[in-house]
Structure 1
């Protein structure tokens, strides 16, 4: 199963989701870990994690009671202001997010003050998601096994960690046209709660967030499909922005 999702991501080819009942969520995380391990054996390096289902509406839509998480590697990094090639993806979409840079180890049950003290910096970010399943259709175990649809991330400039990020306006534009407007408050009511959840989730897997890790806090708005030739830009109140280009 790990080989199947890994090859789909590596070749940018769609596959059918796993048959209902084939996997439970615990199994799915084992597939995810094995799939990413294949990437590491090819020379990629782990750089952190991403969170999914960080809005109540998305949880209700998927019929789940908790967030999901996926692993990030250095090969997923897209240079800020750089370019991506759609041929490397199946049906990519982009979401506006915030990213955190971990300065002190975090794992298990932690509090908001502990999380705040563990952050080294915060940045505007965009995640490129790309379910490898045909027609972007999947159930919970299938999406977890597929590394929570994680495919790429674009990071803006890092800012100091003590900024108030509770309710920052976020605007994502495609080719100069505003397509998504939201607030950082849409991320679990406060983005720092995403880090509380991240520490708990990786702790349950016997892991920890380490100094230097990047954590994508989850989407603040709906995702936008990407098309050839597009210019994508995110602006976040008080934090600045990030942008990238889709090759024509």
Structure 2
């Protein structure tokens, strides 16, 4: 990669970091950097990750996005992606959420998994299941530092897979052999905005985690014990504004109730 190309990636990473502070979105990176590819987009993301670490935040997990057909169709892309989240981006479901932290927030119902052991670079689904030591009900707040959610795959990757924040329940007792049958119904201010089942997340909610282990291994980034992984939305995302009350009903496994202010 030429010095000029490297400088362009750094410049876009700095633009994204500034957008977090100013709440002013930026141009799509694909327009700023002609022929931007997935490798370059992840490099922009990695530069931001390092900036968060340098200011004292701890990367505690990864989010996998675009794992359901509903989300791929909603955002006009055709493959999964991933991003990171830090301790400063995590909330419990009892926390009121300040919408002022975001530019154009939307919510997605998901499941999250904590690893009790490191994952190999090319795990089987059985390896992944054996590594999971906790399951959480989760809502991801996705947000776009790109103007008007005008994103292609490289844009959302560069923008940390559009991650805004992560909201987790306490660990719940969902048997791993029932994950594909888990249902989620999301309402915003009492109106249903989406529903889905675990099978809509790449056929099984642990399949994205298996995919991620392989992709990260190619970047020499292992998945380690203690990492928390969100594996993708059960349905399309719904926008939220100040005063929104979000409920996600997971049937017999519980509910998440979240208030935005």
TM-score, length-scaled by structure 2: 0.89
Q: Give the alignment partner of residue 31 of structure 1, picking from 39, 44, 49.
A: 44
Q: Which residue is equivalent to 1:3?
A: 14
TM-aligned CA distance change 1:162 to 1:57, over 3 Å: closer
Shift of 1:58: 4.3
Instruction: Check whether the contact 1:100–1:216 (CA below 8 A) recurs between aligned residues.
Output: yes
Moved over 6 A (4+): none
> Larger helix proportion, structure 1 or 2?
2
Q: Which residue is equivalent to 1:70?
A: 83
For structure 1, which segment, 74-83 or 86-95, has the greater mean C-alpha deviation from structure 2 after superposition? 74-83
Q: Which residue is equivalent to 1:182?
A: 196
Shift of 1:57: 5.0
Q: Give the alignment partner of residue 227 of structure 1, picking from 241, 245, 252.
A: 241
How large is the RMSD of aligned CA atoms in angstroms?
A: 1.7
Provide the C-alpha distance between the structure 1 equivalents of 2:57 and 2:35, rounded to a whole number of angstroms.
Answer: 29
Q: Which residue is equivalent to 1:132?
A: 145
Instruction: Check whether the contact 1:6–1:36 (CA below 8 A) recurs between aligned residues.
Output: no
Query: SS of 1:141's equivalent?
Result: helix
Query: SS of 1:227's equivalent?
Result: coil
Q: Give the alignment partner of residue 197 of structure 1, picking from 211, 236, 245.
A: 211
Provide the C-alpha distance between the structure 1 equivalents of 2:193 and 2:184, rounded to a whole number of angstroms.
Answer: 11
Provide the C-alpha distance between the structure 1 equivalents of 2:71 and 2:255, rounded to a whole number of angstroms.
Answer: 25
Q: Which residue is equivalent to 2:253?
A: 239
Q: Cα deviations across residues 91-122 of structure 1 (Å, max 9, x unaligned)?
A: 00000000001111114211111011000011
- What are the ranges of 5 or more consecutive residues in structure 2 without an aligned counterpart? 1-11
Q: Which residue is equivalent to 1:121?
A: 134
Question: 1:102 and 2:115 equivalent?
Answer: yes
Instruction: Check whether the contact 2:71–2:236 (CA below 8 A) recurs between aligned residues.
Output: no
Shift of 1:62: 3.4
Instruction: Check whether the contact 1:107–1:207 (CA below 8 A) recurs between aligned residues.
Output: no
Question: 1:167 and 2:181 equivalent?
Answer: yes
Provide the C-alpha distance between the structure 1 equivalents of 2:40 and 2:54, rounded to a whole number of angstroms.
Answer: 21
Provide the C-alpha distance between the structure 2 equivalents of 1:11 and 1:245, rounded to a whole number of angstroms.
Answer: 24
Q: Which residue is equivalent to 1:13?
A: 24
TM-score, length-scaled by structure 1: 0.93
Instruction: Check whether the contact 2:174–2:253 (CA below 8 A) recurs between aligned residues.
Output: no
Provide the C-alpha distance between the structure 1 equivalents of 2:27 and 2:35, rounded to a whole number of angstroms.
Answer: 13
Provide the C-alpha distance between the structure 1 equivalents of 2:252 and 2:208, rounded to a whole number of angstroms.
Answer: 20
For structure 1, which segment, 141-150 or 161-170, has the greater mean C-alpha deviation from structure 2 after superposition? 161-170
Provide the C-alpha distance between the structure 2 equivalents of 1:55 and 1:161, rounded to a whole number of angstroms.
Answer: 20
Query: SS of 1:35's equivalent?
Result: helix
**How many matched pairs?**
246
Q: Cα deviations across residues 143-163 of structure 1 (Å, max 9, x unaligned)?
A: 111100001011012124644
Question: 1:47 and 2:60 equivalent?
Answer: yes
